[in-house]
Structure 1
Amino acid sequence: MNWIVPRYDYPSQISDIEATLLAQMRDLLNGGQYILGQAVTDFEREFATYIGTKHAIGVNSGTDALILALHALGIGQGDEVITVTNSFHATALAIVRVGAIPVLVDCKPDTFLIDLGQVEQKISRRTRAVIVVHLFGQSVDMAAVHDLAKRNGLLIVEDCAQAIGALSGEKKVGSTSDAGCWSFAPSKNLAAAGDAGAVTLNNPKLSDRLSHMRHFGQTRQNEHRVPGYNSRLDTIQALVLRNKLPCVDKWGAARVRIASIYRERLDGLPIAFQRGARTGEHVYHLFQIKTDLRNDLLSHLRRRGIDAVVRYPTPIHLQEAFGDLGYRTGDLPVSEALAEHSLCLPLHPAMTDDQVGFVCASIHSFFSG
């Protein structure tokens, strides 16, 4: 379908860098540094500087970032890791993949973010870590997370996949925990041209461990110290990310501007927004609205050529893949209600004022009957 308001605009992301990027790719293809080339090292250094950490380790995907971070932190068989149920499948999948047990909690009804009160209630003698998810681009209160973790002796992993550039307090997400995990999938605010991810951290020993683990556990060629993974950031993807990284804050500001228009023009309608973010604490990877008429509104928008979508229509605790955890409908009601009543409006930095206006007018026309 030819959308009047599409969900993404990929050409706009490379229009200013296309010539430089293609020249760099040509040199790479001729030079042969296809795996862990210099561009990977350069991107890791630049990304760590941007986030505010000592280290960044590039990996194959955001899912692998979570798996390798948990593994490197020593989390494994029989350990419990607490996380939120209204997230992408990969957040809980990573816990299972290292042999640990996901313990799922609900989100807050206003922020849509992890309910730290429930986290505290779920801590047991087997709990090793908590994974907080900066969902839709809005940051979790990391000061509160650190307080909870310190009191209970827990490790902290941040799923930052949707929140590059977002602040929590005065520091960027992914900069203060044991590990910040990033996805650069094509839909993300900093997008590769395929799968890519990274882990940000400040511990040099953990950084070395992750560097070896992602590369077959090698310290050098054919010297394998640990059973590792084949999860290396592709050099071509590193080139794409290096060229886009300087644009992230500009693109983030454009997202915030569009979100503010949505909030202003849709105010007073029978819908609710994600709330609780202070200045700088939301980068609007997704713009979520909640309404009791979600399905009808979604159909109305899509008929008009607006590529709205439902994100996470089934919470993790009700997914068949995690059925052996024993959760049932009604166990985590806030997330279940969000899954039934929320939808995502198109929002990307290249949206025109006319497109934003058309989305708002279409929503008004729906509620006016």
Structure 2
Amino acid sequence: MNDILLQEKILCLDLKKQLQQIKEEVFSAFESVYDNAAFSGGPFVEDFEKSFASFCQTNYAVGVNNGTSALHLAMLALGIGQGDEVIIPANTFIATAWGVTYSGATPVFVDCTNDTWQIDINCIKEKITSKTKAIIGVHLYGQPCDIDALKAICEQHKLYFVEDAAQSQGAQYKGTPVGGFGEIACFSFYPGKNLGACGEAGGITTNSEVFYKRFLNLRNHGSIVRYYHDELGFNMRMGGLEAASLNVKLKYLSAWNDRRREIAGRYQNNINNTKIKMQSQPDWAHSIYHLFVITTDNRDELVDYLNERKIAAGLHYPVPCHLQKAYGSLKYKIGDCPNSEYLSNHCLSIPMYAELTDDEVNYIIDVINAY
């Protein structure tokens, strides 16, 4: 074992290592924003929107202040509101549900499978009612959900399909980047994402000019012409500094994602401890491994074991959405989504970021195999 590894803890995510590599380039971009005083919206945001739309192979991209706002605006653009229902997985970050609730609609939680940990297609149809308006498919941990199966259900029942792509910038489904499969896709550019801003930011992609123009209006106080407000809008613009940092990082994203895939492949091929289970990877899913999640029967014991050996682990997510206190009024109970509940009690995330060294990856594998 390398002495450095024994002295320094390997973090679950070490964002500083990425930022140090591109610091001068990012600071130069910040200086340009400063010199142009383009801090809210403006040319740097527009440049990023064009680049990100091209990256996702969509007609349009719209920058907003965070991924939660992207989900909220998606619901509003689709006309979803009071009295409507939207089907979402119980095993996701809570923001997927917030977007539905903020619009006045009700999230309907569906269990995940016990292998891919994505929304269980076989459980969806029983949740569809006359109030159902949309299904949100989450590309969880950077792995695309089963888009064709979800779209088939949406087409059969005349529902909208929305992609929650918050964790999946650059992931591909059957060789095509996520972001253009549904009516709308929503991205987060939270700093810790594979493509993360220096600050808070989010984005929306769509191939619809109608939705695109609506988003421009909604994010800017319901206004296209200054001081003329066509509808109830919001202050959800992306900042110029955030956009400038994203413009720099987007150039490196594919290489960073490739390195994550390389690390993930080494985990998958070399961790051979029978106490550890990993997320199943269907052939059609080209993940970017925003997170590398495993499960084990005694999570606390494994977390302590890793910490003692200077390896940090994360929890994504310790409480499934349907059992969150915020949604207590919906009367879900333990046992309603058993696979999601099992994950919440047994999953943990091991270190995953492009800057992990080969020695660190080998050390993590050796330590887990010895558990």
Instruction: Name the TM tier (shorter chain).
Output: over 0.9
Q: Name the SS of the counterpart of 1:223 in structure 2.
A: coil
Among residues 260, 263, 288, which one is paired with 1:258 in the alignment?
A: 263
| Corresponding residue number in structure 1 for 2:162 | 157
Kindly indicate whether residue 128 of structure 2 is the aligned counterpart of residue 123 of structure 1.
Answer: yes
**Quick one: distance in 2 between partners of 1:356 and 1:136?**
19
Q: After superposition, what is the alpha-carbon deviation per residue over 1:285-341, rounded to whole angstroms, capped at 9, x for unaligned?
A: 111111102110011111221111111111011110000011001111000011111
Partner of 1:192: 197
Q: Give 1:302's aligned residue.
A: 307
Q: Shift in Å at residue 146 of structure 1? A: 1.3
**1:2-42 Cα distance to aligned partner (Å, 9 max, x none):** 85211223243244533232122123213211111201000
Structure 2 CA distance for partners of 1:360 and 1:16, relative to 1, 3 Å = closer
User: Which residue type is aligned with residue 277 of structure 1?
Assistant: P
Please state if 1:101 is matched with 2:138. no
Q: d(CA) in 2 for partners of 1:347 and 1:17? A: 19
* 1:224 match: secondary structure: coil
Q: Is the 8 A contact 2:169 2:288 kept in 1?
A: yes
RMSD of aligned C-alpha atoms? 1.3
Cα distance in 1 for residues equivalent to 2:363 and 2:53: 39
1:21-32 → structure 2 map (5 Å cutoff)? 21-32=26-37
Separation (CA, whole Å) in 2 of partners of 1:63 and 1:27: 28
Normalising by structure 2, we get a TM-score of: 0.96
Aligned position for 1:211: 216
Structure 1 residue runs of 5 or longer lacking an equivalent are: none
SS in 2 for 1:218: coil
Is the 1:139–1:277 contact (alpha carbons within 8 Å) kept by the matching residues of 2? no
1:63 to 68, 78, 81: 68
Give secondary structure in 2 for the equivalent of 1:220.
coil
- Partners of 2:32 and 2:356 in 1: CA distance: 33
Native 8 Å contact 1:133 1:160 kept in 2: yes
Distance 2:37 2:201 in 1: 19
Residue aligning to 2:84: 79
Contact map agreement 1:56 1:199 (CA 8 A) in 2: yes
Task: Tell me the number of residue pairs that the alignment of Structure 1 and Structure 2 aligns.
Answer: 365
Q: Gapped runs of 5+ residues in structure 2?
A: 1-6
After alignment, is 348-357 or 26-35 more displaced? Answer: 26-35
Q: Distance in 1 between matches of 2:16 and 2:95?
A: 28
TM-score under structure 1 normalisation?
0.96
Question: Which of 350, 353, 357 is the equivalent residue of 1:352?
Answer: 357
1:139 aligns with 2:144: yes
2:182 counterpart (177, 202, 205): 177
Runs of 4+ that moved beyond 6 A: none
Choose 277-286 or 68-77, whichever is displaced more: 277-286
Deviation at 1:178, TM superposition (A): 0.7
Cα displacement (A) at 1:268: 4.3
Aligned-partner Cα distance in 1 for 2:114–2:355: 30
| % identical equivalent positions | 38
Q: How does 1:277-316 map to 2 (within 5 A)?
A: 277-278=282-283, 281-316=286-321
- What's the CA shift for 1:87? 0.6
Question: Which of 1, 7, 11 is the matching residue for 1:6?
Answer: 11
